[in-house]
Amino acid sequence: MIRIGVDLGGTKIEAIALDAAGHELARRRIASPAHDYAQTIDALRTLVERLEGELGGGRARVGVGTPGAISSLTGCIKNANSTQLNGRPLAHDLARALGREVRVENDANCFALSEASDGAGAGRRLVFGVILGTGVGGGIVQDGRLWIGPNAIAGEWGHNEMPSRSEAALPDTQCYCGRRRCIETFLSGPALAADHRRSVASASASLDAAAIVALAHGGDVQARATMARFYERLAAALAGVINVLDPDVVVFGGGLSNIDRLCDEVRARLSAHVFSDAVTTEVVANRHGDSSGVRGAAWLWPP
């Protein structure tokens, strides 16, 4: 059985074909049609049919990872930053275009599923996959299956409030979702850069997250202080998830998961926040990197 996973991003659409064992057979990438829903459906159909043609013309099972989530009320996409998708019955329209059932799932959930299936969380019963990128999201996989939840928001810890117990003066941030002090406004890449800006003179104002990480690595005192705050906040925020879910493993993805010391720094700080005599939760980086989204979309059809 061939499975095709499609990652529907804001700037590109990527598709991958996997065999039953999870080996990559083929891959294609195209630019996303800008802000046009009908063209997006058309591009997805063309991409899938081209991959099928390349692989001998058989019909594959198709899964799609998308920003946002599928509303259990309407069956339409909600919460997507690619706003042309919001309010659209994406799974239904793709099924009609391709003449078969198409599974559609949130992209952070696809990441978690990929890493739980044959990535850094393989073989563990409960996997919490964490995206630390331009946003902060997550997904929960139990015994190889995604947990979605009745609101389709399982794992969305990024819009919980940032714990403030260990900080007397937590900055009063504003989130795009309308709430204050969301975890995402402290732990995303742009949030890390904003936190550094708040703490240093304006000369360094334009540094992005990668530059701050590099400066800290080189011994810059202010950048090191920014990173220490980041690690501490990440550990405190993750403890809220661990106390409720107690996953076997936390797998980091997204751009900030490339920070060399991330897992060690978080592991060292967890015991101060988690309600347990010892914290044995594994904290690991992803195995499939940028490919996890597209691989997880294919894994929406387990062999």
Residues of the shown chain interacting with Zn ion in the complex, contacts defined by CB under 5 A: 159, 175, 177, 179, 182
- Token pair, residue 126, equals 């409960």
Whichever of 39 and 164 has its CB closer to Zn ion, that residue is 164
Q: Which of 171, 271, 289 is nearest to 230 (CA)?
A: 171
Q: Could you give the angle at the alpha carbon of 154 between the alpha carbons of 148 and 158, nearest 5°?
A: 150
Instruction: Quote the least distance from Cβ 86 to Zn ion, whole Å.
Output: 17
Complete edge-to-edge strand list for the sheet that includes strand 61-66: 24-31, 12-18, 3-8, 61-66, 102-106
Judged on CB neighbours under 10 Å (0-12, 13-18, 19+), 254 is buried
Q: Which amino acid is at 246?
A: D
CB of residue 161 to Zn ion, shortest distance in Å:
9
Beta carbon nearer to Zn ion, 182 or 249: 182
In 104-116, which positions are buried (b, 16+ CB within 10 angstroms) versus exposed (e)? Answer: bbbbbbbbbbbbb
Residue 135 or 296: the one with the smaller Cβ distance to Zn ion is 135
Q: Rounded distance, CA 112 to CA 121, Å? A: 8
Taking the complex as a whole, the smallest distance from the CB of residue 11 to Zn ion amounts, in Å, to: 23
CB 109 within 8 A of CB 146: yes
In the complex, least distance from residue 179 CB atom to Zn ion, rounded to whole angstroms:
5
Q: How far is the CB of 12 from Zn ion (least distance, A)?
A: 26
Q: How far is the CB of 134 from Zn ion (least distance, A)?
A: 13
